[in-house]
Structure 1
């Protein structure tokens, strides 16, 4: 083992594996030749192994670029302009870019790669870097800047306050947010074909004779460190399955004479038959025996199962039994097991997929699940979706009952109780037209286009009539797409653009490009290095006190603006809640009566039994979700929905609290003009200001969901005792006593509406106080570190700063022709990303496609 390998392992945070590499005699030459099998033998833990593969892949890319730059430098000594076409190969994916390479020299004027010179590895990474290349892969830029910041971090001592502050700031640079896009739609609506077409993996999600399971979530993500396809299966626990088996037994015993009517009965039979075949009919006693789970020992061991395949077809064939059932029962299916009843979630990772780099597509069940852990995961994911796709067939899309029921049932979870900025209503199979046999291709095309435009108008009208959805989303948040996966693949009558698959691809590309880890990391690194270099400079010493005083004055003024806006918001919100409490007290009796006495007694008895046994909630396999807690809290939520959306908008450019957080500013640009000697410190404060505002916005998106859900959760907690008492009744008279118990409990606890109001106000107040404290603490600490601490012990980072500045400038400025081409292709250039940091994705879509002639996001 040589110093090169040891240094790389230490630099990558893999020091514990140094001895293993030493024992296997891995040197610089053999490091570059390691394959997947050898890496697995060297690094036996999955987390470090993934990190090593990623770093090694980037290191190989850097070596190729070093060699290219060396060739360029040799040719440029003869005063010739050189344009080099080079290939950067990422395992099975090749991409070639023609670029003009600018030379870079080391201090001695001679270029040396890591592999060529051990001595150069003792220098600052910036001193042995080449000048950034136009069109350079962002992953390489990110790797380079991380190497620079790792080197700077190691050079900072821990003996003085400023160095400790800077080391923490460098450690906090690691951030990467994924956008969640939730996909809803009933079986047969074409979800699988749509997703396959959009991410351009034709055979990934199976369809046709394979029936979708309504309880399993499927996440789709990109896999960047390997060319293999992967599926990670997460199971429910053994205890949860044992409880479900008990519930199935009770249900089957009580409903033997209602098989044809009862959807829950059929659901139980379907799950049992999928996993056990006909065995469950013989006896329920032994269904937890290990013999039934031989193929999935991970379930018994409470571990996740990983499937890894070379091809998409192979993976699809393997993971289908964990997500679907074969609709063709009969010959050839005897003894075949389907494990989806035990599955909580399946995460499918697609190698190097450009549409999934920072985006996760989630195929979601319509209304959660009776299994509590699956339901909690479902609620969490639904609440984090920044966009929701509702998929339905174009035939009668505007009047499709199930699609609108799904949207209404999740509207509060994704709206005020979530992070959703946009709803995309996607009408599939748009290429199908009646009586097309005798029409020409042109006539078919015209008929399709006309029918699609008509469908969009009808769906828009239907949306405007849905008051339950409109409370959470404006007309601007709702877009309609008419798509055809078949035409996108074959193009018989429609162009790719007319299938509107390309519009959805472009939308995903925008989401990916708006959340560039590289841009955020480089911006932060640039600010930190600016502060280090500024603290080393003596030019600002005479002005430090003056600049500090001015910054403190501005900060206090800005904080007061934030505080005042929050106080006014709290007062107005409290008034809305008081109105809701009064309405709740006056209407809860009628709401309770309408719920407890609906439907025929014979059928409703079992429904109410399910409601009280599940804490006020019943999720039928088909039909609308039943939630008594939400009904009781409805006057409270109705009273605050409009105001809450105004305070915490999901789709507004101004941000929460009428934009007062986003408007917070230390006016560093004007101060730089006034105090040139303090420019570096002020540049750091500008990046810190943007970082803290982004952090607070992320925090508010999470916390506001807890504030909103507190109304229903408080009602749920207070009702729990009544539900438990009602659930104890059995036999004759059960329905009567359940009804009486629930009524009496609600009457005795009618102050619960006041309690729910107080709980919500407490959570809102706590959030506002927390925001102010964090904002004041972070900005005060940053200002003091910039102008009130001694920087004499800090290292010289002028070379590192210059190198990162070049990357910063490269990401912030792209030639016009590249920008134009990128936009036309639906790709957002780095310049756009940098200029629009902090904007939400909806605003970015409008800004990025404005004036380009691209109609993808200009409405329908």
Structure 2
């Protein structure tokens, strides 16, 4: 061990660790490289370990500040002031970690973090140590609880400690046509030049690609999730049947010419490629995987093991993980799983892939955020389409990426919003839509234009584009039923100018604004504060359980808490009952409208305009075989059930958005839950002897708010989709019957079967859909009231009515966590100071 380490340990009052560090040959370099696990192995005792980690953190921050000042090109008198803005933090979890957003060495063309980013990095770095310290403390407390008698309070505390570990993760869905610049945009924002392949790629698949942080190690990794072998077998049957390998000649038998030019429903035509997001065709899928062998094989032949020797995980229904040292290496490895181009690749596996999760190391922008590159309109494969709909419904933000030259009139971009608005809006949790116009630097210019003139012209054109896009959004009636103007924002970006700065400043490219948005969405301060607050409450309860003071007051406190509970539950019940009454009234009108409009609705579904019977046969056959839902190639999804439910959903859309806004805290139910309080602060002043137990109850209230907001956010999706879901269930029998028809006349029989079923069922079908939704609303009310009451009653009983002296006392741990908690609470913006 060198003198530097010895001197530091002595300076920090940790000289008792010197011999231990000597045994591990610790020098200055290895001291800086210690990660959390190394420190835990070296110093198992919580107290000395927490003290050492704090001092090491301060040492690293001082070193980085000094280095930044030395490297700064500013005059000496400014160095001290500006050095702090140049700090590049070393991630505590990795000895090899270098900030990917500060590539001033081998990749100097990538932008360094701006001032806001650096401030957030500093904050994140400090809070990462706080969070790590508190987690260490709670891990030690948990171990002590495991060695005590397994009493009810002991089990309760263990559960509460486990519940502290919550992973907040925001999903951002990224839509965009091939060539729009999605990959370049994501790479520029994340500071990863080679992460996703860029360029004018002509054959993009419908594979979803998630991009998130690698919290396991400092490698670049990708988890590849395959569809089920049975799903692939079914998909092959469908594709081969279409190509004639096992084609049933039904469509040739039914040419009744039953067209209807008055139809205002779906466009079922198969020749319009206007919504082409370069979705691969059947030939392309099969040839990518099998070459030309598929042309004379059956699906059973093509599922044989010999075709999957390179990916045994597919037949085993397991994930495949790729691990690489660099983004470029991983990108090259992924091509065969995500893309259909590349002459050097003889076999591609993307037809079998459901989703790829790319994991990026040491990137603060992804700590609690996942970017998802999504195909535009779902997928014809059932499992991929199901995942697509779930992810779209879980996105808190959606980015629509399109070329600025066609942004306002780009049909594909606006169709994405129209087709997915109900999934993202009332049926989802999307709070913000960002319309991102790429290639904003591409504008006609001549050699006579000065750089300032070019910049001025670009910025003027960008502002004009924003105005046109915003005006177009305000005209989208279907979208506006789910999203208001304040949810919509337009960005004009240029990845090229962000990197090269030929004519625009970085801020002009608006990529820094998107980076700041990601930083705000991460909200690491809230994650840390929530964990530390919860830990503080648990330790308060444990220390209070070992106190003999206030025993006589506990009964009085419990009586006050019970009265407060009744009052607060009554407040919560009122807006939920009011919401029920409003929905019942609107659904009643929706039921009546659905019944009277049934004939028109059915006509639009069963007799599409300008399509012959033989051409429509295959579409209707697919619809009845797949439960009334069919996703044609390059076309909008056809959904009979949604069409039948449309008058019901229209009747409640506006009220639903008011009652269950995607920003949950703005809703009337969440607002009253957020004000739910047992007045623990007031009771603490009255009953100081049980202040520790009341402090625990206060943290339980805070956790309950977050818990119930999450319940509302998830349950509202189920409630909204219940109308269509119930109708789909009622229609299943007629779909099964219609699917059995074969041969001549089968089209007419399918149509009649569906029409007769709806006519017979309509008087009860829409009423049952209404009843299903109202039941779910009532169930939500009962669940919230019940869990609020039972959770807090259990916490009250175990903190104030239970005598359990077997619980270990934790005065030291409580004091350490209290100091962290006070520091975080006093700095709501995350500006933590150095804790001494």
**TM range, normalised to the smaller chain?**
0.7 to 0.9
Aligned partner of 1:55 in structure 2 is 37
Q: 2:355 aligns with which of 341, 345, 360?
A: 345
Q: 1:279 aligns with which of 293, 298, 301?
A: 293
Does residue 704 (structure 1) correspond to residue 700 (structure 2)? The answer is no
Aligned to 1:746, what secondary structure does the other structure show?
helix
Deviations 1:548-599 (A, max 9, x none): 2212111110011112222222122111111111111011210111222223
Aligned partner of 1:216 in structure 2 is 207
CA distance in 2, matches of 1:581, 1:660: 31
The alpha-carbon distance between structure 1 residues 546 and 583, as it changes in their structure 2 partners (threshold 3 A), is same
Aligned to 1:141, what secondary structure does the other structure show?
helix
Aligned to 2:666, what secondary structure does the other structure show?
coil
Aligned partner of 1:270 in structure 2 is 284
Deviations 1:735-755 (A, max 9, x none): 333222221121122121111
* Residue 658 of structure 1: how far off its partner (Å): 6.0
Aligned partner of 1:103 in structure 2 is none
Aligned 8 A contact 2:220 2:330 in 1: yes
Aligned partner of 2:69 in structure 1 is none
Aligned 8 A contact 2:212 2:359 in 1: yes
CA distance in 1, matches of 2:578, 2:700: 28
Aligned 8 A contact 1:725 1:741 in 2: yes
The alpha-carbon distance between structure 1 residues 831 and 436, as it changes in their structure 2 partners (threshold 3 A), is farther
Aligned partner of 2:116 in structure 1 is none
CA distance in 2, matches of 1:765, 1:692: 20
The alpha-carbon distance between structure 1 residues 733 and 400, as it changes in their structure 2 partners (threshold 3 A), is same
Aligned partner of 2:109 in structure 1 is none
* Residue 430 of structure 1: how far off its partner (Å): 1.0
* Residue 537 of structure 1: how far off its partner (Å): 3.0
Does residue 391 (structure 1) correspond to residue 392 (structure 2)? The answer is no
Larger deviation, residues 200-209 vs 453-462: 200-209
CA distance in 1, matches of 2:161, 2:456: 58
Aligned partner of 1:524 in structure 2 is 534
* Residue 489 of structure 1: how far off its partner (Å): 1.2
Aligned partner of 1:641 in structure 2 is 653
Q: 2:733 aligns with which of 704, 707, 721?
A: 721
CA distance in 1, matches of 2:742, 2:415: 33
The alpha-carbon distance between structure 1 residues 732 and 27, as it changes in their structure 2 partners (threshold 3 A), is farther
Larger deviation, residues 216-225 vs 591-600: 591-600
Deviations 1:597-642 (A, max 9, x none): 2232143333222222222122123132211111100001111111
The alpha-carbon distance between structure 1 residues 268 and 28, as it changes in their structure 2 partners (threshold 3 A), is farther
* Residue 711 of structure 1: how far off its partner (Å): 0.8
Does residue 774 (structure 1) correspond to residue 787 (structure 2)? The answer is yes
Larger deviation, residues 793-802 vs 477-486: 793-802
**TM-score normalised by L of structure 1:** 0.79
Does residue 600 (structure 1) correspond to residue 604 (structure 2)? The answer is no
Aligned 8 A contact 1:577 1:640 in 2: yes
* Residue 199 of structure 1: how far off its partner (Å): 1.0
Aligned 8 A contact 1:422 1:651 in 2: no
Q: 1:440 aligns with which of 423, 447, 450?
A: 450
* Residue 30 of structure 1: how far off its partner (Å): 6.8
* Residue 515 of structure 1: how far off its partner (Å): 6.9
CA distance in 1, matches of 2:209, 2:470: 29
Aligned 8 A contact 2:628 2:639 in 1: yes
Aligned 8 A contact 1:234 1:343 in 2: yes
Does residue 93 (structure 1) correspond to residue 97 (structure 2)? The answer is yes
Aligned partner of 1:551 in structure 2 is 561
Q: 1:246 aligns with which of 234, 237, 242?
A: 237
Counterpart mapping for 1:754-765 below 5 A: 754-765=767-778
Aligned partner of 1:143 in structure 2 is 132
CA distance in 2, matches of 1:707, 1:487: 46
CA distance in 2, matches of 1:177, 1:586: 46
The alpha-carbon distance between structure 1 residues 483 and 70, as it changes in their structure 2 partners (threshold 3 A), is closer
Aligned 8 A contact 1:173 1:521 in 2: yes
Q: 1:618 aligns with which of 625, 630, 636?
A: 630
Aligned partner of 2:338 in structure 1 is 323
Counterpart mapping for 1:10-409 below 5 A: 55-56=37-38, 66=52, 69=55, 90-94=94-98, 137-156=126-145, 157-158=148-149, 160-211=151-202, 213-253=204-244, 261=271, 267-284=281-298, 286-326=301-341, 332-333=343-344, 336-409=346-419
* Residue 762 of structure 1: how far off its partner (Å): 1.4
Counterpart mapping for 1:532-611 below 5 A: 532-598=542-608, 599-601=610-612, 602-611=614-623
Unaligned runs of 5+ in 1: 1-25, 34-51, 74-82, 97-132, 820-827, 833-860
* Residue 656 of structure 1: how far off its partner (Å): 5.0
Deviations 1:119-164 (A, max 9, x none): xxxxxxxxxxxxxx99863333223222222332343433544333
The alpha-carbon distance between structure 1 residues 668 and 719, as it changes in their structure 2 partners (threshold 3 A), is same
* Residue 800 of structure 1: how far off its partner (Å): 1.0
Aligned 8 A contact 1:544 1:787 in 2: yes
Larger deviation, residues 58-67 vs 278-287: 58-67
* Residue 477 of structure 1: how far off its partner (Å): 0.9
CA distance in 1, matches of 2:194, 2:361: 14
The alpha-carbon distance between structure 1 residues 608 and 154, as it changes in their structure 2 partners (threshold 3 A), is same
Larger deviation, residues 272-281 vs 790-799: 790-799
The alpha-carbon distance between structure 1 residues 520 and 594, as it changes in their structure 2 partners (threshold 3 A), is same
Aligned to 1:729, what secondary structure does the other structure show?
coil
Does residue 829 (structure 1) correspond to residue 833 (structure 2)? The answer is no
The alpha-carbon distance between structure 1 residues 136 and 363, as it changes in their structure 2 partners (threshold 3 A), is closer
Deviations 1:91-118 (A, max 9, x none): 322479xxxxxxxxxxxxxxxxxxxxxx
**TM-score normalised by L of structure 2:** 0.81
Larger deviation, residues 510-519 vs 200-209: 510-519
Aligned 8 A contact 2:179 2:201 in 1: no
The alpha-carbon distance between structure 1 residues 584 and 158, as it changes in their structure 2 partners (threshold 3 A), is farther
Aligned 8 A contact 1:58 1:140 in 2: no
Aligned 8 A contact 1:421 1:650 in 2: yes
Aligned partner of 1:800 in structure 2 is 813
The alpha-carbon distance between structure 1 residues 790 and 363, as it changes in their structure 2 partners (threshold 3 A), is same
CA distance in 2, matches of 1:53, 1:291: 45
The alpha-carbon distance between structure 1 residues 58 and 739, as it changes in their structure 2 partners (threshold 3 A), is farther
The alpha-carbon distance between structure 1 residues 28 and 708, as it changes in their structure 2 partners (threshold 3 A), is farther
Aligned to 2:620, what secondary structure does the other structure show?
helix
Aligned to 1:665, what secondary structure does the other structure show?
coil
* Residue 281 of structure 1: how far off its partner (Å): 2.7
CA distance in 2, matches of 1:626, 1:764: 28
CA distance in 1, matches of 2:380, 2:437: 29
Aligned partner of 2:117 in structure 1 is none
CA distance in 2, matches of 1:739, 1:507: 51
Aligned 8 A contact 1:242 1:288 in 2: yes
